[in-house]
Structure 1
Amino acid sequence: MSRSQLAPGVEVVAVPGRGLAVRTADGEFLSVRVGEADQDALLARLSGAVTDGPDAELDRLVRAFEDAGYLAERPRHAAWPAGRRDVRLVGDCVLTGPLAAYLRAAGAEPQSAAPEEATDGQPAAVVWCLDGPVPQGLWGAADRLPERGIAWLRCHREGWQAYVEPLAVAAGDVTSAHVRARRLAATPAHRELDAYWIGPRISGESFRLETPAAGLLAALLADDLTRWATDAPDTGGLPARRRLRRVDLRTLTVTEHPVLPVPDVAPMPEKAG
């Protein structure tokens, strides 16, 4: 007996008069040539049902689905390891509230904490969420958490744009300081952006995150942390530890940008004489 199952997001449909087609996780439709195999048996196998007896043609088709990446490689919902369940949430409750709910549902044990208490007891991870720009130097100490074996994840809002920064889990990963440096280097308005971060700023009518926007940001953070905790593979083209996500809060559109650590600058040699 053997068992196979389609990967999440992949579906197979019977097209009248044309046989089977697979809808990929990217939304494309591809024809499936079943040859001499029994179509119903193939559908049963791909739905996860157990089939009896060897069937060379059916096995060949299933291997083709596997080679194309259309079969599930592991259980979809891996258990959250006990050693990584202690997650401290710092920052604004409009974001930490829904994030805590998502993390509990995934199997973590999140706790709200003040910044100065976030690392008490050596948690597995610290997540800091701000419903506004990051004050100068606020995350400087937290950027060193990965060196202590504590995963470090954060997000913040700048007007109608929010940023979910890369997950840092080890020394040498992307820190908030690296993200700032990369963003300054990538824009011709680097002086203006730097001044915006430092402040002071004069804003229009104040607003807070709406529930859908806060839920989206919390879901992105929870997904990154869950994949790290359960060693699940990344989705999409960029790994979570090298990905900056920008969220347009007006349209809830998410765009991804690659970001790398900024290497330390070697000290200038002393002049002789």
Structure 2
Amino acid sequence: MFAPGHHLYRSVDGSWRYSAPGDVFVRIGGDDRLLTLVQQLEAGVPGVSVPEADRVGVERIIAALTERGVLVDPDHSLPVPAGWKVHIEGDDPIPEKLLELLDEAECTVGCVDEHVVARSDVIVSCAQWLPDARWRQLDSWCTEHRTPWHGCHAEGATFVIGPLSIPGRTASYRDTRGRRLAAAALPDELIAHWAYLDSDAVKPAVRFTPAAVSVLAGLLAADLLALAAGTGVPSEGHQLVIDLATLSITRHRVLPLPELAINPA
């Protein structure tokens, strides 16, 4: 199959080329019939078969294009393991959309406790505003049971996703929280604001438009499916800040705190 962003085609002058991301165009030689067969086979055109007389030639072209990264082994698109358990909690519309996108996984929805963490392969917590106290508890359970977890919430006029916490591999919520406070101009005010968001005080409702729900759920699902398949997690090591007013996504690198660092309470 073609690697992402790669193409094999006959140009207007009749010669063949492959293209790669970044405006890379490479002219290639070869039998037109064989190149057409390779193009159709690798694009998944149904009903295409290779005549026995052409098999060696087609295999040589496929091998050459694979060596150059134009083609990849279909096995690289690994499936979600059977019985992979995702538990989702949330008081917003995102969990419902996530269920649609994670139909390959075994999903449950509801409140999270330590028992749920212990029996799940990954936890997803979707909140309106940052639930600091709840996420500190969830982070502690997930660290104890080596369970990855992901989250999203609204902050100001933006939405925040992650960072995906994979115990022993990426920053935890404790690390993220500590770095946020260390960088804050008014850390005491930030802590007080989080306490207000945690409380039963009246708070403005977050406006989850259909577009916001689709974008947030899609980004979460992309990370979770990659985690399940054992491939590179798109956002790994980063917190994403999504501004739907400008259609921008900002990636903030988040590193684990050094073991001896003081983590603000």
Same fold (TM over 0.5): yes
Q: With the length of structure 2 as denominator, give the TM-score of the two structures.
A: 0.78
1:245 corresponds to 2:240: yes
* Secondary structure class of the residue paired with 1:229: helix
Q: Aligned letter for 1:148?
A: H
Measured in 1, the distance between the counterparts of 2:261 and 2:187 equals 23
Q: CA RMSD in A?
A: 3.3
Cα deviation for residue 186 of structure 1 reads: 4.7
* Secondary structure class of the residue paired with 1:171: coil
The alpha-carbon distance between structure 1 residues 39 and 172, as it changes in their structure 2 partners (threshold 3 A), is closer
Cα deviation for residue 18 of structure 1 reads: 5.7
The alpha-carbon distance between structure 1 residues 78 and 35, as it changes in their structure 2 partners (threshold 3 A), is closer
Measured in 1, the distance between the counterparts of 2:81 and 2:197 equals 44
Which residue does the alignment assign to 1:270?
none
1:111 corresponds to 2:108: yes
Measured in 1, the distance between the counterparts of 2:15 and 2:180 equals 50
The alpha-carbon distance between structure 1 residues 185 and 93, as it changes in their structure 2 partners (threshold 3 A), is same
Which residue does the alignment assign to 1:62?
62
Cα deviation for residue 125 of structure 1 reads: 1.6
Which residue does the alignment assign to 1:129?
126
Q: Report which stretch shifted further, 252-261 or 200-209.
A: 200-209
Aligned counterpart for 2:36 among listed residues 30, 40, 46: 40
Q: Report which stretch shifted further, 29-38 or 205-214.
A: 29-38
Measured in 2, the distance between the counterparts of 1:253 and 1:14 equals 36
Cα deviation for residue 204 of structure 1 reads: 10
1:36-79 Cα deviation digits (max 9, x unpaired): 67432442343355534312xx5554334323332233347543
Which residue does the alignment assign to 1:21?
17
**Equivalent pairs: percent with the same residue?**
25
Measured in 2, the distance between the counterparts of 1:73 and 1:189 equals 52
Cα deviation for residue 102 of structure 1 reads: 1.0
Question: Given that residues 212 and 244 in structure 2 are in contact (C-alpha distance below 8 angstroms), is that contact kept between their aligned partners in structure 1?
Answer: yes
- In the TM superposition, what are the counterparts of 1:171-250 in structure 2 within 5 Å? 171=168, 173-186=170-183, 193-194=190-191, 196-199=193-196, 206-235=205-234, 240-250=235-245
- In the TM superposition, what are the counterparts of 1:150-169 in structure 2 within 5 Å? 150-169=147-166
Q: Aligned letter for 1:54?
A: V
- Please list every run of 5 or more consecutive structure 2 residues that lacks an aligned counterpart in the other structure: none
Q: Aligned letter for 1:94?
A: P
Aligned counterpart for 1:7 among listed residues 3, 20, 24: 3
Which residue does the alignment assign to 1:259?
254
Q: Aligned letter for 1:261?
A: P
Measured in 1, the distance between the counterparts of 2:191 and 2:66 equals 49
Aligned length: 252
The alpha-carbon distance between structure 1 residues 221 and 266, as it changes in their structure 2 partners (threshold 3 A), is closer
